[in-house]
Chain A
């Protein structure tokens, strides 16, 4: 069970505006859909479903399972301006690897919000004793790559012409890993 007693958590951005971080709730469907609709196409490439469709996001909101996917939203007023999701496997060989996806509204970049959300995911990853956090980023998203690297993620590999966007154009995929403190404590071999 992932500990959530630190939420809602208020943070201050670089311009001294404040945002609230908290787990997504079913009633956030509309706000999340509005946020996702206004993201650049390249930021939505990784979704398996068409997030521009309201019913897709409503479906997520009705079936939230924090142990599998914990979306932390950044909210200013009544608007979602950021989202950081930690995906985990309950069993299997990758159960100690958490996958990270972070999205920031274009008009709220360069304020430290992305970095703040990476910090949250790092904290949550440590609390549930993951060994690694893994982030996959399209290479053109250099701001995201740099923010992840500054927070301790290291480039593990770059897959050339590996993923396609919604228009079918191919992009390089950067895979970054962040080892967590649990890694050194448990060695079976």
Chain B
């Protein structure tokens, strides 16, 4: 309950959408954040080592 209230206070999804305007490009902040997150996760997936179990061959 407390966590839900905290998250709701951090991100208000009930208000008017916010948009980024850059020349002819217009994108919502929410979509922009998702695209940035996808790029970050993609880079991390390539760079981070995959955990190995004990006894696995190299």
Do A and B share a complex?
Answer: no
* Interfacial residues, chain A to chain B (CB-CB below 8 A): none
